[in-house]
Amino acid sequence: MISIDELFNTFNTGNGFWNPVLWLIAFVIIFLIIYIIRGFGNNSYKKGTGQTQVFLSGNPESDFESMHVKSSNLYWGWTESMKWIIDALKSIHTGNVSDYVLWFVIVMGVLFLFVGLI
Amino acid sequence: MNFIDLIMSHAPALLVVIPLLGAFLTPLISKINDKIRNIFVISILGITAVFVLLVAQQVLDTGTITYVFGSSLQTQNNTVIRILFEIDALSIFMALVSIILAFVASIYSWGFLENETGQDKYYTLLLLMTAGMLGMVLTGDLFNFFVFIEITSIASAALIAFWTNRVKAVEAGFKYIFISTIGALFILFALALLYGQYDALNIAQLADRITFTYLDKIALIIFISALAMKGGIVPMHMWVPDAYGRAPASASLVLVAATQASLYGVFRVLFTLYGNVIHLPNISFGWILVILGLITMLVGVIMAMIQTDFKRLIAYGAVAELGYIFLGVGTGLTIIANPDIGISSAPFAVEAMKGSIFHIINDALDVGLLFMIAGAVYYATKETSLNSLGGLARNMKYTTIFFIIGLLAISGIPPMNGFASKLLIYESTYQLNPIISIIAILSSIMLLAVFVKIFQSVFLGPKLKKFDDVKEVPKSMLIAMGIVASIIIFFGLFPDLIVSNLVEPAVNALIHPENYLQGLTGGL
């Protein structure tokens, strides 16, 4: 049987340690502190007033469905800046099974060279 | 000997026999009733899981088990001529990974495939695939390893092409069987090279005889390349998104375990089959694994970032995760195979290996859970394009919670399971070279971004009119996802328990091949 001590043992990672249960307790305490601090705030929220309406720099609000940012539009900046590597990677993903085997042969060839067999 | 002792003495064989027998009985039981068939399949896999746990207990208590089929171990001209299973802590660890995923997949399939035709064939193939995977990780014989690879591959290909009315699914099945056959034939060629020289097929016996000749080196390269291709290592990973993406989600889940069984093959070959000679040449196979691991992580995560199909995106994420496994084992091997450093003066090598082996089960659970969620979303909406989805958190609350758990786990966010194994890999690879560690952390951050993208596209945002009628998935699917999510949280909260009791013995089995050899001597 597993003892309680064994269950809650600190995980030694060689150069450090990790105890998720302690981390969780710390997380809960920090959350409680934040919640208490939040309680000191001024509750001026008034539902149904202009205060709660969406403000888009004075532009009219679109219908909800069209405001959802689609997957293709996410991380466009990252995608643009990495275009050179993405295009290169796309070009090798041909979907052609002969190319899949070609890569296998290439890897095997490189390893043969690496080991000095050819 | 009473009945229970008799059963226990044959438990290693039963691990393969039960699902195999179940596979042949499934079409017959299907004739009676679908519900009875589903209960039968779940029971078969549940019983197999119990036997895996019993054998695991035995292996962890007493060490390597050698089970000889038919009769006692026979030798002819000093060559073992019996078929045998040789089960050490690594084998049983891998068996545990396979059976957890197969068992969960059987529960998930009940709801997921309830309106599909051909379920009798599906469940037969699922059980065959499980028998194949378990055979791959338990066998102590290279030729049987090849046979079990073939069984797994054929069953996997048929499962990938399960939706035969969809061209892309059939194409993916064809690609998978093509790649698998090429890989398996090369493995057959490599083992023939060894058999021709040493007149043996038993792994332990070959390990004892290998002298690292020119042909041995050729065989080693072929083994690594072919198994890495079947394991989905970049640049031989391209079949992975096709296969994982087109298979039913429940089959993708088991395919994850099949892929990892191939990686097990790489480690078994390097550490056990060539374990006695791997330090001899002035070549570091460890560095080969490290480089392949780094490329796999980066390519996997970059390709995942640009995907717009739910399952293909997860598949590329799964490829990136495989990189971590190779990276940790490569780091360990680099040190172990270097006689100037030695394992005793570099304990981080063992930590790296622990991280990798722990990551095998974590990756299987995390990726498995995410595939089930992709399947749940498809089941509810009939959509897989991320651009067409949105706002599902309002209709599918439990699925959303499971996705958040999967997202945190695969990205290595504390306190989930992925964090503990990745922490071990980061720390140990930092000792080898800080840049490797930086790349690994960067990949993890990008992986988080990738899965946040899914979260935003699928679950957040306003409720879409076309999904007004979408409801939560059936209970069997929720139970399956709940089981995996619970294991993820448990492994995350108590990593020391898992590492000490399951991972450490598996790592010791890898780095001390002499124990594997002794297992055979005990059998003799």
Q: Is residue B347 part of a domain?
A: no
pLDDT at B521: 57
Q: Is residue A44 part of a domain?
A: no
Q: Are the CB atoms for B137 and B98 separated by under 8 Å?
A: yes
More confident residue, B156 or B280: B156
Q: Is residue A93 part of a domain?
A: yes
Q: Is residue B357 part of a domain?
A: no
- Residue span of the structural domain in which B124 resides: 1-274
pLDDT at B326: 95
* Segment B344-348 mean pLDDT: 70
pLDDT band at B100 (very low <50, low <70, confident <90, very high): very high
Which residue of chain B comes nearest to A24, CA vs CA?
A: B415
pLDDT at B523: 47
The string of pLDDT tens digits covering residues B363-406 is 999 999 999 999 999 999 999 999 999 999 999 999 999 999 99
Q: Is residue A16 part of a domain?
A: yes
pLDDT band at B524 (very low <50, low <70, confident <90, very high): very low
Give the pTM: 0.94
B191, with CB counted inside 10 A (0-12, 13-18, 19+), is buried
> Which residues have a Cβ under 8 Å from the Cβ of B490 and sit 6 or more positions away?
none
CA angle B78, B80, B81 (to 5 degrees): 120
More confident residue, B516 or B232: B232
The string of pLDDT tens digits covering residues B426-437 is 999 998 899 999
Which residue of chain B comes nearest to A112, CA vs CA?
A: B221
Q: Where are the alpha helices (DSSP H) in B203-309?
A: 203-209, 214-231, 239-246, 249-268, 285-305
Q: Is residue A68 part of a domain?
A: no
Residues 389-428 of B with CB under 8 A from A: 389-391, 414-415, 419-420, 423-424, 427-428
Q: A20–B494: do the CB atoms touch at under 8 Å?
A: yes
Q: State the Cα torsion B262-B268-B273-B277 to the nearest 10°.
A: 120
Sequential pLDDT tens for chain A (118 residues): 677 877 888 888 888 899 998 999 999 999 999 999 999 988 787 887 877 777 778 887 788 778 888 888 999 999 999 999 999 999 999 999 999 999 999 999 999 998 876 5
- Residue span of the structural domain in which A15 resides: 4-38
Q: Does A53 touch chain B (CB under 8 A)?
A: no
Residue B81 confidence (pLDDT) above 80: no
Which of B101-105, B128-132, B335-339, B370-374 has the weakest average pLDDT? Answer: B335-339
The string of pLDDT tens digits covering residues B468-510 is 999 999 999 999 999 999 999 999 999 999 999 999 999 999 9
Q: Is residue B192 part of a domain?
A: yes
Which of A50-59, B190-199, B370-379, B455-464 has the weakest average pLDDT? Answer: A50-59
Q: Are the CB atoms for B444 and B422 separated by under 8 Å?
A: yes
Q: Is residue A20 part of a domain?
A: yes
Which ipTM value was assigned to this complex? Answer: 0.93
More confident residue, B519 or B142: B142
pLDDT at B284: 77
Q: Does A15 touch chain B (CB under 8 A)?
A: yes
Q: Is residue A95 part of a domain?
A: yes
pLDDT at B281: 55
Q: Is residue B137 part of a domain?
A: yes
Q: Is residue B384 part of a domain?
A: no
Residues 27-46 of A with CB under 8 A from B: none
Q: Is residue A56 part of a domain?
A: no
pLDDT at A14: 83
CA angle B71, B73, B76 (to 5 degrees): 115
B160, with CB counted inside 10 A (0-12, 13-18, 19+), is buried
Helix axes of B417-432 and B310-336: crossing angle, nearest 10 degrees: 40
pLDDT at B347: 80
Total structural domains within chain B: 1
Total structural domains within chain A: 2
- Of the candidates A7, A16, A70, the beta carbon closest to that of B457 is on A70
Q: Does B76 touch chain A (CB under 8 A)?
A: no
pLDDT at B283: 61
Q: Is residue A79 part of a domain?
A: no
End-to-end CA distance of chain A: 56
Which residue of chain A comes nearest to B181, CA vs CA?
A: A101
- Of the candidates B235, B308, B449, the beta carbon closest to that of A72 is on B308
Q: Is residue B412 part of a domain?
A: no
Q: B225–A9: do the CB atoms touch at under 8 Å?
A: no
The string of pLDDT tens digits covering residues B236-273 is 999 999 999 999 999 999 999 999 999 999 999 999 99
Q: A115–B283: do the CB atoms touch at under 8 Å?
A: yes
Min distance A9 CA to chain B CA atoms (Å): 6
- Residue B254 Cα to chain centre, angstroms: 8
Residue B511 confidence (pLDDT) above 60: yes
Q: Does B222 touch chain A (CB under 8 A)?
A: yes
pLDDT band at B342 (very low <50, low <70, confident <90, very high): low
Q: What percent of chain B has pLDDT over 70?
A: 96
pLDDT at B334: 87
